A and B are shown apart, each in its own frame.
Chain A
Amino acid sequence: MSWVALRMLTGNRAKFMGIVLGVTFAALLIAQQASIFCGLMLMTTSQIRDIQGAQIWVMDPNVQFIDDIKPMSEVELFRVRGVPGVEWAVRLYKGLSRAKLDDGTFQQVILLGLDDASMVGAPSEMIYGSIADLRRPDAIIMDENGYGQLWPGEKFQPGKVFEMNDRRAQIVGLCKARPTFQTFPVVYTRYSQATKFAPPERKMMSFVLANPQPNVPVEEACRRIIDQTGLQAMTNEAFAWKTINYYMLKTGIPINFGITVFLGFLVGTAIAGQTFYLFTIENLKQFGALKAMGAGNLKLLGMIMLQAAVVAFIGYGLGVGAAAFFGHMTGGTSQLAYFMPWEVLWGTGVAVVLISILSSLLCIRRVMVLEPAIVFQG
């Protein structure tokens, strides 16, 4: 009876499209909002993922996320270096600074001070110049999007100068960097230079970047650092998750997005449910006739479930496809956070299945309790 169920479903094109569109809309809204949320969460970890070359981040024990800077004394660097199993450890400055442009306007920038000798954490993809250029006096490397923000519409000019903390900063290179949560430009410089660009503080070192010796597992090295220094030490991935968890638990962002996703779910269920229910009601006499002719409840249940499954499958495909297309089309926009991991596809799939089940439950009930004698009521 599968083909009968499918022909019943698709017989009225307008109704069929209505049901599919309800599910499509829900899938689109859920997948799109969830992807933007994931993109935003990913943005919070941009610097952790951009700063490559070290496997371990060491920080003050009270640091909760990447932007929660609690500077440490330089002594801590040497204590980390003294932990058995640590191959090397370097300092990293991370903070906010104010860039004063030629026209007198100010713009906040994210300032990253890399270890003068090793340059661990330097950008991995240069568009212009090289990391070695950072060794020049007052040199900084800026990210491409940040440059566009400070000088909108202007073509990149190496050697451009601006001020930070009343000190001259000269752009010697342009790099690619992941969009940041704060959307500020990212400025790379040497650690010694960064401490001059930043407002003076008693302690300046934000993080220590370290690597374990080849025969020491990274988790073991972290444990030893924690045990011996009392500092916080974790892998890149763990630090990224710590940051994400902070935003998830301590900010209203997940709730805001959760509400939208839930609304998408509700609206989708309402539209699909109502249309599917009306569709069933309109076909009630036909179901009654089938019952009278000897179609059992199980057979009719199978027909309705098949119809719901087909609607869910098409609606899911269209919705998720539209969400992916949206992400693809807006992919070049640095301000828009968009990341669609498989979990979003999975979650949207589960939501669509739930919508279909909820939508078909009422219909199933109506058909199950339907007296076939209805067909004799002219």
Chain B
Amino acid sequence: MATVDKQPAIRCRNLVKEYGSGNSLVRALRGVDLDVYAGELTLMVGPSGCGKTTLLSVVAGILEPTSGEVDVLGTDIARMAQWRKVKFRRDNIGFVFQQYNLLPALTAAENVSVPLILAGVPKRKAVEAAIKMLNQMDMGSRAHALPSKLSGGQQQRVAIARALVHHPQLLVCDEPTSALDAKTGHTIMEILRNVAVEGDRAVIIVTHDSRVLEFGDRIARMEDGHIVSVSPEAATIAAH
């Protein structure tokens, strides 16, 4: 677990995100302050529409904040040029999506190799690295299967392998267990707990699934665009 004197991997201060304008203005984030530490698994929970996914998108460099500071891995991504942001995401962030978003025409290994291909690694080397990563996920035997031939849990493992194959420092996961049954969801969280956090990687997970709260090192509760609580508090973590 992280300690309080450690620099946060993600540091948000007074983060505001608004959609639309005039009468149709929606304030999705209303001054969010949040620290996420490397080597920790941070869960973001809260009711639908509270701004969890918006916050995840902002810290992942996918959405521009309206105002406030977002410092990710020591870089102020709010002020970053678009093309730098694309490169930053490619090099530093792994993504796990609720609906897996695997390319249906590619095999599991090819899907996992995509971030490496995007980084300019030749296909053959990328697929070799992808198969290694799938082996770590106990998916080596299904490396050449198409996503349509895999179960939901297997697809999510492939998605996690894809998110980790290029060894990002930050892993962002959007509802990784919500499409899975309890047992598979548990397995996926164990994988994220064991594989993702290793190597001093920061993991941030948005979830509705109360069954997975036990896996979080830190749980940030959101309501109406605010972080209403973070438990345990940094001080508590330090005490442990």
Residues 269-289 of chain A, each 1 if its beta carbon lies under 8 Å from chain B, else 0: 000000000000000011011
Bound together, the chains give a CA A10 to CA B114 distance in angstroms of: 18
Q: A292 contacts which of B89, B99, B110, B178 (Cβ < 8 Å)? A: B89
Given contacts A293-B90, A294-B87, A376-B53, contact A7 B62 (CB under 8 A): no
B105:A7 contact, CB within 8 angstroms: yes
Evaluate whether A375 and B95 lie within 8 angstroms (CB atoms) in the complex, with A3-B123, A7-B106 already known.
Answer: yes
Q: For residues 1 through 45 of chain A, which have their beta carbon under 8 Å from a beta carbon of chain B?
A: 1, 3-4, 7-8, 10-12
B118 touches A293 (CB 8 A): yes
Q: Judge whether B90 and A378 touch: CB under 8 Å.
A: no
Q: How far is the CA of A377 from the CA of B103 in the complex (A)?
A: 17
Contacts of B4 in A (CB 8 A): none
Contacting pair B103 A293 (CB below 8 A): no
Query: A349 interface residue, CB < 8 Å from B?
Result: no
Given A4-B117, A286-B103; A376-B110 close (CB under 8 Å): no
Q: How large is the interface on A (under 10, 10 to 19, 20 to 34, 35 or more residues)?
A: 20 to 34
Chain A residues with CB under 8 A of B225: none
Please name all residues of chain A whose beta carbon is closer than 8 Å to the beta carbon of B83 when the two chains form the complex.
Answer: 296
Contact A7-B118, Cβ < 8 Å, known A294-B86, A376-B57, A378-B175: no
Number of B residues with CB within 8 Å of any CB on chain A: 32
Q: How far is the CB of B175 from chain A (nearest CB, A)?
A: 6
Contact B114 A290 (CB under 8 A): yes
Known: A373-B62, A378-B175. A293 touches B106 (CB 8 A): no
Task: Determine whether the beta carbon of B118 is less than 8 Å from that of A289.
Answer: no
**Docked pose: A377 CA to B52 CA in angstroms:** 11
A372 to B105, CA, bound (A): 20
Nearest chain B CB to A292's CB is how many angstroms away?
5
Using Cβ atoms and an 8 Å threshold, which residues of chain B touch A288? 101
The residue in B97, B101, B117, B118 that gathers the most chain A C-beta atoms within 10 A of its C-beta is B101
Are A371 and B62 closer than 8 Å at their CB atoms? yes
A319 to B209, CA, bound (A): 54
A266: CB under 8 A from chain B?
Answer: no
Residues B101 and A7 in contact, CB atoms below 8 Å apart? no
CB of A295 within 8 Å of the partner chain: yes
Q: Which residue of A lies closest to B85 (CB)?
A: A294
Specify which of A10, A296, A375, A378 is in contact with B178 (CB 8 Å cutoff). Answer: A378
Q: B105 to A294, Cβ gap below 8 A?
A: no
B137 CB to closest chain A CB (Å) equals 18
Given A294-B115, A295-B118, A296-B83, are A378 and B89 neighbors across the interface (CB < 8 Å)?
no
With both chains docked as a complex, state the minimum distance between the C-beta of A263 and any C-beta of chain B, in angstroms.
34
Cβ–Cβ contact B95 & A1, under 8 A: no
Q: Knowing A1-B118, A7-B105, A294-B115 touch, does A376 contact B86 (C-beta < 8 A)?
A: no
B86 touches A285 (CB 8 A): no
Residue of A293, A299, A378 ringed by the most chain B CB atoms within 10 A: A293
Q: Considering the complex, give the chain A residue whose CB is closest to the CB of B104.
A: A11
> Bound state CA distance, A293 and B93, in angstroms?
8
* Neighbouring A residues of B93 by C-beta, 8 Å: 294
Closest residue on chain B to residue A299 by CB atoms: B118
Contact present for A378 and B110 (CB under 8 Å) = no
* Chain B, Cβ-Cβ closest to A298: B83
A376 contacts across to B, CB distance below 8 A:
53, 56-57, 62, 97-98, 174
CB distance from A38 to the nearest CB of B (A): 41
Given A293-B115, A376-B56, A376-B174, verify A285-B90 contact (CB < 8 Å). Answer: no
| Cβ proximity bits A359-375 to B, threshold 8 Å, 1 near / 0 not | 00000000000011101
- Among B35-69, those with CB < 8 Å from A are 53, 56-57, 60, 62-63
Report the bound CA distance from A215 to B66 in whole Å.
Answer: 85
Whether B104 contacts A289 by the Cβ 8 Å rule is: no
Let me know if B217 is at the binding interface, CB within 8 A. no
Q: Are B103 and A4 in contact (CB under 8 A)?
A: yes
Per the 8 Å Cβ criterion, residues 111-146 of B in contact with A are 114-115, 117-119, 123
Chain B residues with Cβ under 8 A from A286's Cβ?
101, 103-104
> Chain A residue with minimal CB distance to B115?
A293
20 residue pairs of the A-B complex, CB under 8 angstroms, read A1-B117, A4-B103, A4-B106, A4-B117, A8-B105, A10-B105, A292-B95, A294-B90, A294-B119, A296-B86, A299-B118, A371-B62, A371-B63, A373-B57, A373-B62, A375-B101, A376-B53, A376-B57, A376-B97, A377-B53
Chain A residues in the interface with B (C-beta under 8 A): 1, 3-4, 7-8, 10-12, 285-286, 288-296, 299, 371-373, 375-378
